[in-house]
Amino acid sequence: MTKYLHKADYQLIDTVLQHILVLVYLKCGILNDDNKVVNLIHLFCVHCANSVSQEQCAAYANQLLAETEQTYSARALSALKASCVLLKVSGNNNALKDLLLRSVNDAKTGSSYLSSCLPELFCILHYSNLDCAELDDIITWGFSSQDVGVLRHCLGMLLSLFEVDPTRAQRLLGSVLNDQALAKLISEDGIASVCSIRCCWALYKATKSANVLTYLASMACQGVVASRMLAMELLSLLPYEVLSTLPSTTSTNKDSRAADWRRAVGLTQSIAETVRDWLLAYKNQNDNVGLMAVARVLINLAQCLTTHFGSRNRIDGSAELQATQQALNTIYTTLVAFKTSNSVYLQSTLLKASIWLVDPPTAETQSVYVDLVRRTRELRLPVEVADEVLQQLAGRALKTPTLAYFAMEVMWAWFLQNPMKVSVNALLSTWKACFALRDMVNCSAVVDSVFRFLDFSTPNEEFHKHLALLKCAAYWFLGECCEFFAMADGLLECRQIIQSILLRLQKAAVLGDWEVRREAIRSLGKIALVSEDPIRICVYEMLQNLTKMVSSEDAEVYNDLVEPILDVLDDVYEAIENDEDPTPILKSEAALFHQSVIN
């Protein structure tokens, strides 16, 4: 008979049998004296929780409640864990809350086995994500236990509380930071210190408290490596103006043979030198996990310093900054030598760090720079990873425009590998960075890059939608960059570039799909508003001709796009004829005709 059953029928039978089996196990388990067998039954109930209905979960939980009163603590604790999981999955939050509060009260009074199993109890509380008025007292009681396992879960609950009620979380965390003995206990445990650092960072984002930064600075200089790395990584996200004001600490120079030789250093220098030492150690040990972790700190630190100083070779002005620059020089030399790796993610992460540390090429560094560009272009990364690297390249180019060529070359090489690797944000940021140099050589190079993207086509239909989006961005950018050439209209080269841009936009406004046409017409409108005659009158005539040469079925759409621009230009020419200043009209309307989904 079973051959006539469908797959859905089999699944239904399996579910029913499983439900019956669980109920039988529960009934047998209550009467069973073998605690190991009963614990396995509890685990089986938890395993089945997500595959049965909420009503069935509630039924399992009710069966297990009697087990929580067992005299054998391991068996009772196993039943408590299973009951809480089942109640949470079933959505019976009130029953879950009552069970947990009763368990906490029994543990506080010492009337149950839970008083000797506080880490397990707080693990259950943390998992249950209990949110009630009693939670504050529970967390405070947990901190007072001085048990490291309990502290971990209390800090985890505190971190979750920051997302829903920062004020409550701030009050509870304050008691931890002000208790030196408790803070010392936390700093000596890796997991607890990591949780406390994340809590402090959440508190700083909510309050901008200087005291919190002082605590994070101390955590960056003492304790286990994992917590120090995290503290450094988060502190390096701060602007240099804030990072440089944090209190200095004391650091031992590992190169010195005198054990008592110590020197006071600033936090920035301390982070740079510590990262250098970690990087060299992990490289010698072939520790890819350690290299990934230290690279994340390095990326944030290099980005912070580059944003402030412009490039690595300009980090100067004091003995501390000179020492910081020397440490970064050693780091960059190490990264450049690290050319290959079996891990794509390690290679891309170290590349991101190199991007923020590389200086604009000079006669001495030209060969190293060219080799870095070549190796970066030849990399074949997954789409998501490639986009992350390009975002870093574009961000660095915006801070140091002379490196925009680096970004443009890599972007084009990876685009040819797979157009999906280049996002609109990376594309526009790179062009804007190169255009920010505001000279004819770089600006004309950007226009050539835009035209190169517009001329690209592929028979692969998988890329058509993304390619159309990139081309819309390119047409939008032509309207933005034309302002520079309009201002320098006296140069023959500028006039030639403007003419080529206008021809591109005119062609796209007629032959492209509607998204492309819309961007092209908006860019033509922007050019008309920021330019003087004869460019403005040329665009005016182009827009007028568009409404005449299209078919009747497209005319209405064109009119909706073109007529508002023509109306504004009519107002401008009318103001000029009346000897009035058209500038107010141009300023008020310039943004109107260049709004875009790309922007």
Enter the tokens of residue 124.
């259950």
Q: What is the pLDDT of residue 3?
A: 37
CA angle 59, 65, 71 (to 5 degrees): 150
Residue 81 vs residues 76, 87, 283: alpha-carbon distances, Å: 9, 10, 43
Q: How far apart are CA 521 and CA 28, in angstroms?
A: 77
Give me the average pLDDT of each 10-residue run along the chain (599 residues). Answer: 36 42 48 57 66 73 72 76 81 85 87 84 86 85 89 90 84 83 85 91 88 89 88 94 78 39 66 94 90 94 92 88 93 81 83 90 83 87 90 88 87 93 90 79 85 90 90 89 62 75 87 81 83 81 75 62 80 81 70 48
Residue 6: which region, alpha, beta or left (left: phi > 0; alpha: psi -120 to 50)? Answer: beta
pLDDT in tens, 379-438: 888 998 998 999 899 888 888 888 888 889 999 999 999 999 999 988 998 888 887 777
Q: What is the pLDDT of residue 279?
A: 94
Q: What is the pLDDT of residue 518?
A: 84
Residue 295 vs residues 291, 339, 349: alpha-carbon distances, Å: 6, 15, 7
Q: What is the pLDDT of residue 296?
A: 93
Helix (H) or strand (E) holding 251: strand 249-252
Q: Which residues contact 537 (CB under 8 A, 6 or more apart)?
A: none
Q: What is the pLDDT of residue 185?
A: 86
Q: What is the pLDDT of residue 234?
A: 95
Please say whether the beta carbons of 532 and 489 come within 8 A. yes
Residue 449 vs residues 73, 467, 476: alpha-carbon distances, Å: 71, 15, 14
Residue 147: which region, alpha, beta or left (left: phi > 0; alpha: psi -120 to 50)? Answer: beta
Please, what sign has the CA dihedral across residues 82, 85, 91, 95? positive
Q: How far apart are CA 423 and CA 413, in angstroms?
A: 14
Q: What is the CA radius of gyration of the chain?
A: 33
Please say whether the beta carbons of 87 and 127 come within 8 A. no
